[in-house]
Chains A and B, each alone.
Chain A
Amino acid sequence: MALQNLDRRIIYILIFLAVSIPLIKPIGLKMHISENVKKVYSLVQETPENSRVLFSFDYDPASMPELHPMAISAFRQALLKKQKIVCTAMWPMGVQMYEDVVKKMKVEFPNIKYGVDYINLGYKAGGIVTMQAMESDINKVFPTDFSGKALSDFPIMNNVSSLKNFKYVLSFSAGAPGIKEWVMIAHDQAKIKVAGGVTAVSAPSILPYVNDQHQLVGLLGGMAAAAQFESLNHFKGTATKGMDAQSLAHLVIIIFILMGNLNYILLKKKKERGNK
């Protein structure tokens, strides 16, 4: 069969097999831990006990395979370090993402208490303006938690009036509003540490914020970083399981790129011979 006429269904079948076989039967390939992942891990690890930290769920189910494992690992790490986690969402579906993370955490940490160890402020429309208003006065933006109870009723919110009262912000972000806006407000204005996770496709545009000014302390980019973060946390989640599938899928795509280029070279040579 001529390479240029390769049926796209063959490509689809090979991708399907490359993704599904390792998911059914994991290979357990080893990983290299990147500097950016280590930085995010160290940020959570080195923040003292009882510190108030802010988790922002800025994604929806479409980005779950990449961002959800990061959120689960980070939430778990912060709970192990006995940090007090205040959650919010800049995306409407982020609230459901938070719910799912907490549901999983309650299995591993049955003693965690809502309002003492963690709290959900819920979703608020407005994006960067919401964040800006949180920098001035959180109670004005979120007078109640997600269920409608006054924030002053919860011990976790004692002495928390502005973004400045948090030790760090972790944003799990699939786009705007998300991590870029948190950098602009939480780091550049409130001067607190910001880190988080993004999808692999948006990582190149967010990476410039990991710089000498520490606008971002570190960055988890895509499922590979999520798997590395799980590995640092000694936790085997869905990212670790998905890495084998992603590795093989990348390999198949690379093989197709090489085949496409080989096809181009062969056609070019044939054309040149024809012209002679």
Chain B
Amino acid sequence: MKTIPTLSQALKLVGTLLALALCTNPLTAGMEVGAPLPALAEYGLEGASLPTLTGKVVVVDFWASWCGPCLLSFPALQEIQKHYTDAPVVILAVSVDEKKEDKERFLKKIKFTPAFTIMHDAQKKMVQTFAPGTMPSSYIFDKTGKLRFVHTGFHGAKSRDEFIKNIDQLLKE
């Protein structure tokens, strides 16, 4: 009676295991440039009322209280929003924190009142649609609601300058 598998049988087993391992909950692919701005009202965002987005350059930024670079990005977002006070630019900073208290604690830590809109994706529906590859991630939509630029992570003045360059370009179009 044969109980030990042959080499080909062992290879089949290894192949099956690898296939199963790859099929197990893979990382989600993110939203790509060219995609339309989803109907944000359908995500049940909390914390503030959704501003009018039609005909505006929209920056959607995903952040979390546990993310160090997000803390660094907030002064830059503030600076950018103030830079475009009179321009049709909306910055939506969407928290993906599990608890509302964590979000509130973070907002106390930054020590200024954000000039941009802070919302909370408590149900994690919106973040699953955008599927950012890292935290923070920002998505810049043009005035027609088309995704034009994606920024992953925050890299200080370099990121801030790129944001301004991208927004300037979209405002000129």
Tell whether A pairs with B: no
Which residue numbers of A lie inside 8 Å of B, CB to CB?
none
Which residue numbers of B lie inside 8 Å of A, CB to CB?
none
